[in-house]
Structure 1
Amino acid sequence: MNFDYQRVPVADRVSLNVAVAGSGSPIVLLHGFPQTHLMWRHVAADLAADHTVLVPDLRGYGDSDKPEDTGETYSKRTMAADIVALAKAFGHEQFALAGHDRGALVAFRAGLDHPDHVTHLAIFDVLPTLDMWDVLHGASAAVAFHLYLMAQPPGLPEQLISAAPDAFFGYFLDQWGADAEAIPASVRARYLEACRNAIPSIVADYRASAGIDVEHDQADRDAGNRLAMPVTVLQQDWGVALGYDAVALWRAWAPACVHETVATGHFMAEQAPAVVTKTLRELLLR
């Protein structure tokens, strides 16, 4: 399947790089850290056989624009609005949405903020921001050291990461993957290059998750807002190590969600694309 690449304006002075293929009901696939839209290469090709598939780089990542952070620039609310605007640009008022890692946080926010647009929601290997901070504690929180580093005020995180970007971003590609062959050297090189060129915006994305994103999640929790569309969550079983009940946390936000744990590494769309594709196809039938 050949994908067509376009740059699509989604906000003032912000355009997203997006790969597009297929025809049929639309689905948007959002990548995670430290990756780009390329992480979906296997899954997207399969889905494009009978769906219109939109696979963007998030703002601040890959070949999408990287505006200077002004406080809300990289909030998940802002990034979710990008995705709704992207779908509308292709004529889709309603669409299914799947996200991995950082992209899953954007997808989660899109589901809460734009329920009339998101028909189905798939979340891969993440917890909502508010719950993530709640469950991290003690020595076990060391696995998330990068969250604390990039939560710091502008300056030091960017300087430290810029001193050894390939070592920093490559660490996560190595530590979070169960199968080194799932990310070929050519793809790994593209991920690292993309990250080297996006350090301020990547840090800003994470910094938002320690500030404004928490405020937005807390407001929704206080208001009792929930995800009413069909939701599927696929995760590794980190709950045992960190001491939380993932199913209970997710069902507090999506009472009817389907939740499954899988024996893959974090990069499941590359390590187990058949599992991810099957999960998405089953979700789209609900």
Structure 2
Amino acid sequence: MSPRIPGFDYQRVTVADGVSLHAAVAGSGSPIVLLHGFPQTHLMWRHVAADLAADHTVICPDLRGYGDSDKPLDTDGNAYSKRTMGDDIVTLAKAFGHEQFALAGHDRGALVAIRTALDHPDHVTHLASLDVLPTLDMWDVLHGLTGAIGFHLYLMAQPVGLPEQLIGASPDAFFGYFLDGWIKNPDAIPADIRDAYLAACRQAVPSIVADYRASANIDVEHDLADRAAGTTLRMPVTVLQQDWGSALGFDAESLWRAWAPNLNHETVTCGHFMAEESPADIIRAIRALVSR
């Protein structure tokens, strides 16, 4: 059996035709939904979720296409748009009785969270984003040699066929590269959790690629439309990003403030997997956010 978050109940919730999400739920009080990143599952929140559940209802789903959630075929380029994935989250929260909720996301989950908050400002009361830039800004800052950092973004943006074949030929090497290379404290992801991440990714190559492909296509269209319309995030927003120092090469806070006027921007001294490497910092930041 795959590892679970101790003290959490597990349920499957139908969120769209033919799509159910696998979700861990615990606690009571004002709801907080936590969305995982790549190449992970809801288990990345195990430390943070356990703490928050002391006085909040905490909902940790596997995103569509990941973990034990359903993985629909992407027949029209829309199945893994962040808009579609965000609609899943609103439906999930409603299924647990919550019309409004705080939302935190890491990496891919943060992109889903941002789109959910833009599309559903009456449902998302607070937003926390861990270690990403909004989609348009991400593509803008990846250029020249710095683009090599995001090689996987360009690989998985290619048309259906080649990325799936290349990654599927050696999935553990591909996904393990990021688990090992993006972390400063390897002990933060113990062997059983790492194995669970790799097993989940091994079964989800087409859907993970489809998620990334959407971010080079339909997600850009949605963000461009919001930028043209002047749409911003209306709720309090906390952004946590790695402390890259001068190597960052751009002013992340300024980029974020264009989307989030009510912004708290912080750096965290750890690797990319900050909810596992520095859970106390993430817990503190989320608790401070939801108190605003």
Residue 255 of structure 1: how far off its partner (Å): 1.3
Match of 1:129 in 2: 135
With 5-14 and 235-244 compared, the bigger mean Cα shift is at 235-244
Q: Does 1:98 align with 2:104?
A: yes
Aligned-pair RMSD on alpha carbons? 0.8
Bigger Cα displacement from structure 2, 214-223 vs 240-249: 240-249
Residue matched to 2:21: 16
* TM-score of the superposed pair, with normalisation by structure 2: 0.97
Aligned to 1:75: 81
State the partner residue of 1:231.
Answer: 237
State the Cα deviation string for residues 87-139 of structure 1 (Å, max 9, x = none): 00011000000000000000000010000000000000000011100111001
For residues 174-222 of structure 1, the C-alpha deviation after alignment (integer angstroms, 9 at most, x for no partner) is: 1100100000000000000000000000000000000000000000000
Q: Give 2:9's match in structure 1, choosing from 4, 11, 23.
A: 4
Listed as ranges, the gaps of 5+ residues in structure 1 are: none
Q: Percent identity?
A: 77
Runs of at least 4 residues of structure 1 off by over 3 A? 237-240
User: Match of 1:49?
Assistant: 54
1:232 and 1:239 mapped to 2: Cα distance? 19
Q: Which residue of 2 aligns with 1:189?
A: 195
In structure 2, C-alpha distance between the alignment counterparts of 1:102 and 1:164, rounded to whole Å: 22
How far apart in 2 are the matches of 1:4 and 1:14? 20
Question: What letter matches 1:145 in structure 2?
Answer: F
Where does residue 264 of structure 1 map in the other structure? 270
1:144 corresponds to? 150
Quick one: distance in 2 between partners of 1:9 and 1:103? 19
Aligned pairs for 1:182-261 (under 5 A) are 182-238=188-244, 240-261=246-267
TM-score, normalization: structure 1? Answer: 0.99
Contact 2:9–2:25 (Cα < 8 Å) also in 1: yes
- What letter matches 2:236 in structure 1? P
Conservation of the 8 A alpha-carbon contact between 2:27 and 2:56: yes
Deviations 1:69-98 (A, max 9, x none): 021000000000000000000110000000
**Structure 1 residue 33 and structure 2 residue 38: aligned?**
yes
